[in-house]
Amino acid sequence: MRALPLLPLLLGGCLAVPALAANSSPEATQWLNKLAQAERGQSYQGSFVYERNGSFSTHDIWHRVQDGKVSERLLQLDGAAQEVVRVDGKLRCVSGPLVSEVGPAPDSAPRVLDPLKLISWYDLSVTGKSRVADRDAVIVTLSPRDQHRYGFELHLDKRTGLPLRSLMLNDKGQLLERFQMTRLDTTDLPSDADLQASAACKPVEPVSVRAGEAVVGWRSDWLPPGFELINSSVRRDPARQSTVSSLMYDDGLARFSVFLEPVKDNAGADTRAQLGPTVAVSRHLNTPKGKVMITVVGEIPLGTAERIALSMRAQDTQASQ
């Protein structure tokens, strides 16, 4: 679970846990539902520390729920000035170095986290208590049942259910990413001025999705169990004068995206990289219509991303490495 941004969780009522969840705790499911209710209806402001790959940054956050709309503003306080504004989970503007990294954003629905789906792929449990930002917390762990996803340790505020600390861990228990609140205020609610983007925050234009086009054009011969296609889009890249198709997959907690772009015969090289929990794998694919660069980006293990990249095929055509 990415703690950036704090997830706009939308959960249903707490139902009976099926037999498949023999290793999962009903109490953990109840806490995840409490977290969902807090994200859906709790306004707050505060500060947090974010750690990835040994690097730390500090941030202020303003999060307001009003008339069913969730508005959120994040401001980095050290290093290069960076700002992000989201409304109902959708990116509205960014500033600083992020401007060059964020292209047009698909206008997709916010992430949905359902404990009754997660218990098929994670063991959910309550493992203890802690104290974070001068607030009592309960610790909920989500342990993956296979090697294709990461584990999470959530420290949830006992009073509100909001996440006070989130740790992402690999299969060896090594820390990949940490989010930790240092100040949380649920009484002094964010004002319009708090949520107002600065002049440096550049608007992000949503991509108009051509329904089904990317899905028709491409398929995967293999996906990690539990991952489903939740969004697809096709956009024109004027700089490269090419068309980029994108596919987004989700298991209810983790996400990854696949980008497919036609390239010239000698353009680019196969690459693999990892920064904290985020991996990027690029591979060339030969199709009857020419060479295509396949890039998989997401918070999944490197080996899983490589297998996904190698499994992509042009729909209704034969492709070769």
pLDDT score of 15 more than 60:
no
Domains of the chain: total: 2
For residue 311, which of 107, 145, 148, 176 has the smallest C-alpha distance? 148
DSSP, collapsed to helix, strand or coil, labels residue 245 as strand
Instruction: Indicate the DSSP class of residue 48.
Output: E
What local confidence, expressed as pLDDT, does residue 23 receive? 67
Separation of alpha carbons 292 and 305, rounded Å: 17
247 plus 226 within the same structural domain: yes
Residue at which a domain ends, from 170, 203, 236: 203
Residue at which a domain ends, from 188, 203, 218: 203
44 plus 155 within the same structural domain: yes
82 plus 197 within the same structural domain: yes
DSSP 43-56: -EEEEEEEEETTEE
**Average pLDDT, stretch 302-310?**
96
> What's CA 196's distance to the chain center, in Å?
24
113 plus 195 within the same structural domain: yes
Contact between 172 and 156 under an 8 Å Cβ cutoff? The reply is no
Separation of alpha carbons 84 and 213, rounded Å: 30
30 plus 75 within the same structural domain: yes
- State both tokens at 118: 């997660």
187 plus 64 within the same structural domain: yes
99 plus 160 within the same structural domain: yes
Whichever domain contains 78, its CATH number is 2.50.20.10
Whichever domain contains 233, its CATH number is 3.30.200.100
Is residue 5 reached through a cis peptide bond, with omega within 30 degrees of 0 on the bond before it? Answer: yes
Q: Is residue 175 in some structural domain?
A: yes
166 plus 238 within the same structural domain: no
Total Cβ atoms within 10 A of residue 114: 17
143 plus 228 within the same structural domain: no
87 plus 157 within the same structural domain: yes
pLDDT score of 6 more than 70:
no
* Residue type, position 266, single letter: N
216 plus 284 within the same structural domain: yes
What local confidence, expressed as pLDDT, does residue 211 receive? 43
Helix, strand, coil share of the chain (percent; to 5):
15, 45, 40
Provide the strand spans (E) within 77-133: 83-87, 90-94, 105-106, 122-132
pTM: 0.82
pLDDT tens by residue, 251-276: 988 999 999 998 887 677 889 999 98
25 plus 169 within the same structural domain: yes
Separation of alpha carbons 320 and 270, rounded Å: 15
DSSP, collapsed to helix, strand or coil, labels residue 241 as coil
Residue at which a domain ends, from 139, 169, 203: 203
Q: Is residue 233 in some structural domain?
A: yes
Q: Is residue 107 in some structural domain?
A: yes
Q: What is the mean pLDDT of the chain?
A: 83
- State both tokens at 69: 């709309």
Measured in residues, the chain has a length of 321
Task: Provide the residue range defining the domain that includes 250.
Answer: 208-314
